[in-house]
Amino acid sequence: MSRSPAYRLGCDIGGTFTDFILLDRASGRYEIEKVLTTTDDPSRAVDEGIAGLANRRPDFPAVCENIIHGTTLVINAVIERKGAATAIVATEGFADLLEMRKEIRYDIYDIAAVYPAPLVSREHRFELAERVTADGAVLRPIADGSIETVLGQLRDAGIESVAVALLHAYANPVHERAFAAAAAVAAPQLLVTLSSDVLPEIKEFERTSTTAINAYVRPLVDRYLARLENRLRDRGFDCGLYLMLSGGGIIGTGAARRVPVRLIESGPVGGAIAAGHIGDIAGVKDVISFDMGGTTAKGCLIHGGDLPITTNLEVDRVHRFKRGSGTPVAVPTVDLVEIGAGGGSIASIDELGLIQVGPQSAGADPGPICYGLGGTLPTVTDANLVLGYLDADYFLGGAMTLDADGARRGVEQVIGKPLQLSAEEAAWGIREVVNENMTSAFRMYVAERGGDVPAATLVAFGGAGPLHADGVGRKLGVKKIIVPRAAGVFSALGFLVSPVSYEVSRTAVTRLGTADGRELEVLYGELEAAAGEVIAEATAGLQITFERIAEMSYVGQGHQIRVAVPAPEPQARGPQANGAAAVDIAALDRAFAADYSRQYGYAYDDLETQIVTLRVVASAHGSVPEVLVPFPTMARESSLKAVRAAYDPMGRRFVDHEVHAMDRLQADQSIAGPAIIEEREATLVVAAGAVARAQPRGWVEVTLGGETS
């Protein structure tokens, strides 16, 4: 009896393209789709991509297990200021936290430094007469009639969504909850976001900013998900819809609607997860993921298979590379470095007469010149086409024909003639500048995290990642590059191997010298119950596991590190009475010292240690699908498609490159550069001196050699 197919669909909405990967759980095979992002309504691109897949697999909507979705909707709404009419309710005297920030200039020499405009304007910031102290004591109860007055002001101002961020609500949320209860009765149409629900942590500016963003995008996300669910229902889907979180897990639409700020880096995270997954399979200890798409390039250092998590994210920066010039979002996020370098990055000449690439992008509309959609400024994709690395007749597998003559004219007129360069030299200059921009950012990012760049393996993916992997890899000094099959939609593939997961937190400043392991056990138990409730809402029938984390520092430090709380030894009962469960304080102190030493090269034995914030990550792990399609041991036909002239930077001339089809490679096949390996969604350039080998499990490993480009 034949087994009915069961599908899982990963969908990643990017700035230029929306990517899909459809996995058939029965056969292990996948289908790929890629469409231009519809920026006015991203759900329309999702619908178009699903329609394309359904034409090839008509049965899949009816038997799809789940859909995992990553989106740029939240980050775009913040950057473009397209959120809801939002207000803030703050403790009396603290309504201007968003404007006051930390009262620290991100550039101490710039006395005219500017910051992003607050998401909530001054006339929409309201005050509540109340006060809670840092230890949670109620210093001033809510004044009679104060809540009713504020609700009236919100109604008169036409507010759709409100962020309630009262002073020290992380220590005691009683006043925030009183406001929410009153609003539910008097203004049920008002969406209320409490800081004690979104981010019950110390640091008033970060907590207020994060809560404001959540309120700002909440109606937008709610309406988007409603449209998407309607489109899926019309297509015949009756399955779970999950959203990719910035911290690396996936979650159901209920939690996504309540806390959409957790989706702010939803899209790029999938690629880092997939890179870690393939690194584990390949037995690689340190991986640098290199995800270059149409708009941006992202990098992530993955050590020992563990994704780096941070709560120090900034968005909407006035100066892209200056920390402190943006809006903080203190939710758990995979620690990525992101730069404005993608296939659509626009090339120009700066005031010094030098080639500049990005951060401005042509995006999906109008796109690069070669797309023929109205673009007039040369981009990285145009340069790669001029250099012969892209086949004008095989872009997206031939679904889109590129205008090679238009790209050449644009590169020559905008860059070549002003700098007295040929079109080819100008195109190579564009490519070199964007490679150097990415390399510099990656090198600094890895160094700041204590990584060893030459010892790492570069995993390159995205529509443009394999195209630039050789140049970036050589500049970084890595020895090997891994390029997976389906590299152009690799981030969407990462969604398919992600667990249902959610992190909750609570600030509880505690010095280890006086800490009570039993009290910490109770707090962790409460966090586990809260996180488990969110997971149970999203999925049923899967076992939930919990990971305990303590954010710790030496007393007096302003920055903490994440430390995994050691599980108690079975035979150790510790100082607890009557055998009651307790956190092992001594083991936690040792774990902090070891982690601190690994990150900074030393640890102090004369400074007191403290816990600042407790965290719990709840996960429900199902079976992880094998999403890599192996290369066959015997190919049906030769992988060689053609021989094409492409630019050789060493000889400064065009030389013949063998062009191979990725899907026709056989296991252990080796290809010496110069060569090009084409796939429908991505192109791998193997430069002279490098050797590419098709690994049986389903990726190409490139060993670099020769001179550094």
Cβ 95 vs Cβ 167: under 8 Å: no
Residue 571, pLDDT score: 45
Q: Check residue 489 and give its pLDDT.
A: 86
Q: Is residue 548 part of a domain?
A: yes
Residue 633 lies in a domain: no
Structural domain tally of the chain?
A: 4
Per-residue pLDDT of 450-480, as tens digits, reads 788 899 999 999 889 999 999 999 999 999 9
Same domain, 462 and 532: no
Residue 209: what pLDDT?
Answer: 96
Is the pLDDT score of 296 beyond 90? no
Residue pLDDT, tens place only, 353-407: 999 998 888 876 788 999 998 989 999 999 999 999 999 999 888 888 999 999 9
Query: For position 321, what pLDDT does the model report?
Result: 64
- Residue with the larger pLDDT of the pair 579 and 94: 94
* Residue reference for tokens 């006035």: 318
Lowest mean pLDDT among 122-126, 374-378, 580-584: 580-584
Residue where a domain terminates, one of 592, 620, 648: 620
Is 11 among the domain residues? no
- Give the tokens for residue 215: 């309120």
> Where in the sequence is the domain holding 657, given as residue range(s)?
640-697
Asked if the model's pLDDT at residue 565 lies above 90, the reply is yes
For residue 107, what is the domain's CATH number? 3.40.50
Q: How confident is residue 579, by pLDDT bands cut at 50, 70 and 90?
A: low
Q: What is the pLDDT of residues 677-700, one digit of tens each?
A: 999 889 999 999 999 999 999 899
Average pLDDT over residues 202-213: 95
Look at residue 329 in the predicted model and tell me its pLDDT: 93
Counting other chains too, the contacts that 205-209 makes at CB distance below 8 Å and 24 or more residues apart are 205/97, 205/98, 205/100, 205/101, 205/102, 205/328, 206/328, 206/330, 207/165, 207/169, 207/170, 207/330, 208/88, 208/90, 208/97, 208/98, 208/163, 208/165, 209/98, 209/327, 209/328, 209/329, 209/330
pLDDT value, residue 212: 97
CATH number at residue 609: 3.30.1490
pLDDT at residue 430 tops 50 = yes
Mean local confidence (pLDDT), 186-209? 96
Would you state the pLDDT for residue 572?
A: 45
- Which of 620, 651, 670 terminates a domain? The answer is 620
- Where does the pLDDT of residue 706 fall: very low under 50, low under 70, confident under 90, or very high at 90 and above? low
213 and 194 belong to one structural domain: yes
DSSP annotation of 566:
P
Tell whether 132 is covered by a domain. Answer: yes
Q: Is residue 89 part of a domain?
A: yes
Q: Do 704 and 648 share a structural domain? A: no
Indicate whether 317 and 217 sit together in one domain.
no
Bridge partners of residue 226, in order along the sequence = none
Which pLDDT does position 40 carry in this prediction? 80
pLDDT > 90 in the chain, percent? 63
- 480 and 517 assigned to the same domain: no
The pLDDT-based confidence of 146 (bands split at 50, 70, 90) is very high
In whole angstroms, give the CA distance from residue 243 to residue 73: 12
Range name among 83-97, 108-122, 558-572 with the lowest pLDDT average: 558-572
Indicate whether 631 belongs to any domain: no
Q: Are residues 597 and 683 in the same domain?
A: no
Q: In this structure, are 195 and 168 located in the same domain?
A: yes
In a domain, 36, yes or no: no
Confirm if 217 and 261 have CB atoms less than 8 A apart: yes
The helix (H) or strand (E) run that includes residue 653 is strand 653-661
Tell me: pLDDT of 58 over 60: yes
Go through the chain and tell me how many residues it has. Answer: 709
Whole-number Å distance between alpha carbons of 333 and 327: 15
At position 569, the amino acid (one-letter code) is E
Q: pLDDT tens-digit profile of 249-278?
A: 899 999 999 999 999 988 788 889 999 989
DSSP characters for 84-124? --EEEEEETT-TTHHHHTTS--SSTT-TT---PPPSS-GGG
Q: Which of 188, 222, 256 is the last residue of a domain?
A: 222
Same domain, 474 and 581: no
For residue 255, what are its two tokens?
């939690």
Does the residue 10 lie in any domain? no
**pTM of the predicted model, to two decimals?**
0.85
User: Per-residue pLDDT averaged across 505-522, rounded?
Assistant: 95
pLDDT at 246: 93
Please report which confidence band the pLDDT of residue 5 belongs to, taking 50, 70 and 90 as the band edges: low
91 and 214 together in one domain: yes
Q: Is the pLDDT of residue 577 over 50?
A: no
pLDDT at 637: 87
Are 554 and 702 members of one domain? no
Instruction: Read off the pLDDT of residues 22-39 as tens digits, 9 standing for 90 and up.
Output: 988 777 778 888 888 887
Distance CA 415, CA 363 (A): 20
Tell me, what's the pLDDT at 4? 56
- The pLDDT, as a whole number, for residue 451 is 83
| pLDDT top residue among 627 and 189 | 189
Q: Please write the tens of the pLDDT for every residue from 628-679.
A: 778 988 877 899 999 999 998 878 899 999 999 999 999 999 999 899 999 9
**Residue 409 sits in the same domain as residue 446:** yes
Q: How confident is the model at residue 626 (pLDDT cuts 50, 70, 90)?
A: low
601 shares its domain with 647? no
pLDDT of residue 147 exceeding 90: yes
